[in-house]
Amino acid sequence: MKIEFAPLRLPLRRRLQTAAVVQWVFSFLALAQVCLGVFVLLCLSDWWILAALYVGWLYLDRDTPSCGGRRSHWVRNWRVWTYFRDYFPITLMKTADLDPRYNYLFGFHPHGVLVAGGFGNFCTEASGFSRMFPGLTPYLLMLPFWFRVPFFREYIMGGGLVSSEKASASYLLSRPGGGQAAVIAVGGAPESLDARPGALTLQLLQRKGFIKLALKHGAWLVPVFSFGENELFDQMENPAGSALRRVQDRLQRIMGVALPLFHARGVFQYSFGLLPYRKPIHTVVGRPIPVSQNPCPSKDDIDALHTLYMEALTQVFEENKNNYGIPEDKHLNFI
């Protein structure tokens, strides 16, 4: 395989952008393991009393990830996120104003491999979410497992990540006074196994739990499509029914975490590695769908709103696809 190396002379700005993405990929793939290792070493050292105190803190703070988390304005505004945004670059597009008197449930599509657009737009202020949607506070929902990892949980909560448990979403969507925006990557871990350039398949037909939540709390639904999300990584071929896909599906059911075998580029060369390609991400926030509160929605109520949501998401895609290089004959495929 011929290796294409990066030029030796590159502007410092581009070097800093690459460094920002390196730390982000490291955070997703290895920081939790490092934090766990540090905690174990602390337990075995002369400083074990600190580990014991932290365990006590974990117990006292156990409900925080399901009760709005502990976001940090300082973390969300780190300079590193500006370089992270510019690496791709990431842009956030608004199609309508969102009244802060209501709570919202954003459905984010597609999941992609590492949800880069979701993180950049909703866990940092680099793309200007708060300026674009004044009065709204975004929370990106993440698997509950990660909030049990010592130290790592503090870091991810700082960006506005909260647990994806039903109780966590219900807490946000039931806040009086409105202004809360829970962001759910609806396709979840299984959808990441199909994330590759050109993919437009979304796992949505059977995903109705978020619809029921919106009805129970009267939270307005907002479809969000992130153009370019699937263009960031290549992935080993794993068609449905293949040996690799069967192993991935089984591991996902056991662990709750998908393991896509992805690859893209490296730090000093463009031929292989775990850094995403420099491909633009355009995250379009669609028009809100008003939802009337229904504490006990029927199956018909859920199905009707689910159909309306799919139509609204399709509209967001069709109205914007020509702007972002998607051919006219390409359409979303719901499974």
Per DSSP (E only), the strands in the chain are 90-94, 104-109, 137-142, 161-163, 180-185, 201-202, 220-227, 234-235, 262-263, 281-285, 333-334
What mean pLDDT do residues 61-72 have?
A: 97
The single residue listed with the structure tokens 């859920």 is 302
pLDDT, tens digit, 9 for 90 and up, residues 250-304 = 988 887 788 899 999 999 999 999 999 999 999 999 999 999 999 999 999 999 9
The single residue listed with the structure tokens 């709570």 is 103
- Please check the confidence at residue 224 and state whether its pLDDT lies above 90: yes
pLDDT at 3: 87
How many CB atoms within 10 Å of residue 64?
Answer: 17
The Cα–Cα gap between 125 and 144 comes to: 24
- Please check the confidence at residue 1 and state whether its pLDDT lies above 80: no
pLDDT, tens digit, 9 for 90 and up, residues 199-222 = 999 999 999 999 999 999 999 999
pTM of the model: 0.95
In the three-class reduction of DSSP (H, G, I as helix; E, B as strand; rest coil), residue 70 is classed as: coil
Among the residue ranges 73-82, 241-250, 298-307, the one predicted with the least confidence is 241-250
| Strand pairing class (201-202; 90-94) | unpaired
